[in-house]
Each structure stands twice: as C-alpha cells, then as structure tokens.
Amino acid sequence: MKHIVRWTTLFGLAALALVCAGPAGAQSTYPPGGPATCTNTGDVNLGVMNVGDTRGASVCGPYTGFVTFTKEGQPAGGKNANADGSVPVAVSILSPTQANVDDIVTIHCGTNVLTLTGAAAQGGAAITRNVTFTLNCVNNIAVVSPTPFFPVSAFPFTSAFPASQQQQQQQQQQIIGGSAPAGGGAAAPAAAPAASTGGRVRFTGANVLRWTIVSLALVGVGSLLVLSGRRKAQPGFGT
C-alpha cells in the first residue's frame, strides 16, 4: 500500500510540472521581438479593371485592431488587421456604378481611391494607406470583362452543334414561321417526323421493383416447400 501511495504522488508531481512548464515553453518559441510584421508598406494600385473583375491585395500599415475603409469620403466598411499588421482588401466590380470593397460603394470611370485608416502596430498613431483601381471605360461607357460570370458548359440547354447544323435549324425555324431563307432560294423541305417506336412501353424502375418483389416472394415460397419436403422425408415425421 505504501508503494502505491508513493508512486501515485510521484506521478502527480510530474504531471503538475509538465502543466506548469507548458506555457513557458510555448512562449520561448516566439522571437525576442514578437511576431513578424509585414514590410511591404505603402499604397497599392490594382490597375485597370473591367465590370466583372475581382482583384485583391494585402495592405501593410502595419496596423493593429480595426481598420476603417472609406471610398472617396463615403463609408466602405472595414476589417481587423492580421497578426502581422496587414489587412486583406478585395475589390469586385459589380456594375458600371457599383463595386464591393467590403461594403457596396459607388464608382466611376477612371481612377477610384479606397482609403484605409487605422492605428499603427507600434505607437498607436493613425496610419493611412490608399488602394487605387481604374475602371476601364470607352466613351464614358464601362467595359465589361470578356470572361463570362458562368461558363457556357454550365447551361445544359446551350447548343453544341456545328455551324452547319445550326444553319439548318435556323432554316427550319424560318420555314415553320412562314418566312423564306435569307438567300432567297426555295424553301427547304420540312424535316421528316421521327420514326414511331411501335407503341412499345419502356421498362421503368417501377417495373423492376415490382418484378424484384415477385421474385423474392417466389424464392421464399420455394424455400418453405423444400423445408416442408425434407421434414416429411425424415423418419418418424408425423408419428
């Protein structure tokens, strides 16, 4: 009994020592100057953007705490600074007059400026950084990005026929509508009706389920008959 108490006490003291040494060991892994801070300070230019484009950047103050966004005087939301003092910024051009920078803001053709204001990581003084992007316009009309928001393959009803087949379809539609082909020639004959299937009824999943149940029932009845026959064949059965 004394040995059990002794070893229990030793294990308890060892566990307590590990628990106390854990936080100290974790703190010793940090560098003497604290976590690394971002170094790419300065303003950011996202370049020329079309409607439908999205671009982003990491803006370094280095900041601490919450950083406020303003778009040329209008509130635009804000984000908390990362541990390294940087703030992620993403700009999505939604329309010729609106963009999403965290809040939805008004934009215009040419250069647009998003301003980030927050406290410095060291000293707490206010730091201001600008993120600029240029809305691409031709004759004061915003240019839409040639990349579609959704790929063509996402729409199952999109035609994938060759050009020749598409022309034949257009001619058939013109004939049905009562108009002649664009070339002025004779109207092409109407397409022949599809061949009849002969009144055959398709074998659906419901039929498969029905016949599966019937088959299982027959197997069960057959098994009962076999067992009954074996019992009758045994000597002394029914005596």
Residue 1's Cβ-count burial label (10 Å; 0-12, 13-18, 19+) is exposed
**Does residue 179 sit within a domain?**
no
Average pLDDT, the chain: 73
202 part of a folded domain: no
Paired tokens of 101: 């920078």
Q: Is there a domain that residue 97 lies in?
A: yes
pLDDT at position 134: 97
Q: How do residues 175-220 score in pLDDT, each as one tens digit?
A: 545 544 444 444 445 555 555 444 455 555 667 777 778 788 888 7
Show the tokens assigned to 40: 């790419």
What is the reported pLDDT for 238?
54
Stretch (H or E) spanning 45 = strand 44-49
Residue numbers of the domain that contains 62: 44-142
On whether residue 213 sits in a domain, the answer given is: no
* Model confidence at 103: pLDDT above 80: yes
Does any domain span residue 172?
no
Please report whether residue 75 resides in a domain: yes
User: What are 105-150's pLDDT values in tens digits?
Assistant: 999 999 999 999 999 988 889 999 999 999 999 999 999 988 655 5
CATH number at residue 121: 2.60.40
On whether the CB atoms of residues 118 and 82 are closer than 8 A, the answer is no
Domain presence at residue 5? no
Q: Which two tokens stand for residue 210?
A: 């029905």
Q: Is the pTM of this model over 0.85?
A: no
Counted domains in the chain: 1
**Is residue 1 a part of any domain in this protein?**
no
